[in-house]
Amino acid sequence: MQPAMMMFSSKYWARRGFSLDSALPEERPAAGSLTLNRSSSGKNEEKKGNKGNGKGESASEGGKTAVVFSLKNEVGGLVKALRLFQEKHVSMVHIESRKSKRRNSEVEIFVDCDCSKKEFNELIQLLKFQTNIVSLNPPENIWTDEEGKAVYLDCVPWFPRKISELDKCSQRVLMYGSELDADHPGFKDNVYRQRRKYFVDVAMSYKYGQPIPRVEYTAEEVKTWGVVFRELSKLYPTHACREYLKNFPLLSKYCGYREDNVPQLEDVSIFLKGKIHIWFINRYGFMKTLFSGLAYRVFHCTQYIRHGSDPLYTPEPDTCHELLGHVPLLADPKFAQFSQEIGLASLGASDEDVQKLATCYFFTIEFGLCKQEGQLRAYGAGLLSSIGELKHALSDKANVKTFDPKTTCLQECLITTFQEVYFVSESFEEAKEKMRDFAKSINRPFSVYFNPYTQSIEILKDTRSIENVVQDLRSDLNT
């Protein structure tokens, strides 16, 4: 799971460390190094032969395969290379060229072909004398789309392909945790500023797979938490959705939710992981970092607490927001799946599409309303952690419209004031289905699937990859 995805061109989300920045890690894997191989130890172990290693001795048994080679941009060079395909009776299904990224004087040729393993290996041996082999059989970052045009994955915005790569997403994170604006309640409090710096340092040193460090909160911090906890608890019975009310007592029982105790994120993470296979990591992040985590059922979160001078106000999300706003709903399987699908839809999407997804996230996961038993109820974390706006959103003064991603994504997100409009859904399931339909409009040359056994993202780029997923799902149903 991920932290609250509330980041836009406002100070609020900037303070959280959120920024719409497509440049996650600037480094991209070399051609052919982005693989779709499943883990050798997972349930869905790949039973096919080894992938090509650039030497030509591991082509598939037969059928469709591909090769990418580079040659000097000179007259007759391509003709000589293609003549080898004819000599070895290799049928070329599709051919495409592009300028080489390695040498300006060369071009790269992508050939999708149909042949036997023997014919392919013989072809490669001959090609090596006339060209530079870039990748083979088939390079998982290159394929042909429905129109037969080559699609290069390295032209798609980078995203983590396995859960351990979430750490890479944080390499260029802007940390605002210890840098407070002049209007922040704790700006002139040097003790508070040093405390915030401590939490930033802890988050920066955290790596995926490690237990979340336990925090010994100060008496002042516990007091601040207690005020927020007590006042919000008075509103929940009449303002929060039923899923929230169902899970809140469980958090009190298993995670230490009470007025005189700030729950530890590690305890909450263990609880969620055991309940719905979602867990926390202690880190801030860019918008795309946060969405990437959601795709893996990972929720980025903070550990610091708002300034004690004004417990009912915070200019940025703090642990009160995470624990009281997000966690009770993330313990609900349908809501958790809704959050994950927004994350999956963002993988490989353009900045423009990610911005639209973020706005939909803002007006659902953060400030969403639903109808239950004829009454409006809040499920957005921003509402459930804000006493004033929670009251306002369910009052006659609020402007409430039906949630429709196509129009919601155009709505302005307000930070320093209450929202001008709130969006209501009949249920999480309805909101999820609407987001699924909306995700189809995102311009990317593939779909994605989260493999829970290998904790990796599989790219669905053709019929074969889809059939593999369907077969896995059928196997799950039969066991």
What is residue 395's DSSP assignment? S
Catalytic pick from 108, 322, 366, 458?
366
Strand partners, 70: 108, 132
Contact at 8 Å (CB) between 69 and 133? yes
Catalytic pick from 321, 341, 386, 458?
321
326 is catalytic: yes
Map residue 192 onto helix, strand or coil. helix
Distance (Å, rounded) from C-alpha 32 to C-alpha 35? Answer: 7
316 is catalytic: no
366 marked as part of a ligand binding site: yes
321 is catalytic: yes
What is residue 335's DSSP assignment? H
385 is catalytic: yes
Residues 6+ apart with CB under 8 A from 30: none
Distance (Å, rounded) from C-alpha 431 to C-alpha 424? Answer: 9
Distance (Å, rounded) from C-alpha 370 to C-alpha 279? Answer: 25
Catalytic pick from 184, 239, 307, 326?
326
- Torsion angle, alpha carbons of 396, 399, 405, 409, to 10: -140
Contact at 8 Å (CB) between 321 and 385? yes
Distance (Å, rounded) from C-alpha 236 to C-alpha 4? Answer: 20
Distance (Å, rounded) from C-alpha 222 to C-alpha 366? Answer: 25
Query: In the chain, how long is the greatest CA-to-CA distance?
Result: 81
- Among 322, 323, 253, smallest CA distance to 290 is for 322
Beta strands in 315-354 (DSSP E): none
Catalytic pick from 70, 339, 385, 456?
385
94 marked as part of a ligand binding site: no
Residues 6+ apart with CB under 8 A from 363: 380, 403, 408, 411, 413, 419, 422, 423
What is residue 366's DSSP assignment? I
- Distances in whole angstroms, Cα of residue 103 to Cα of each of 48, 72, 132, 133, 302: 34, 9, 11, 14, 45
Classify strands 400-402 and 422-425 as parallel, antiparallel or unpaired.
parallel
Numbered residues of the known binding site for Fe cation:
321, 326, 366
- Catalytic residue annotation: 321, 326, 366, 385
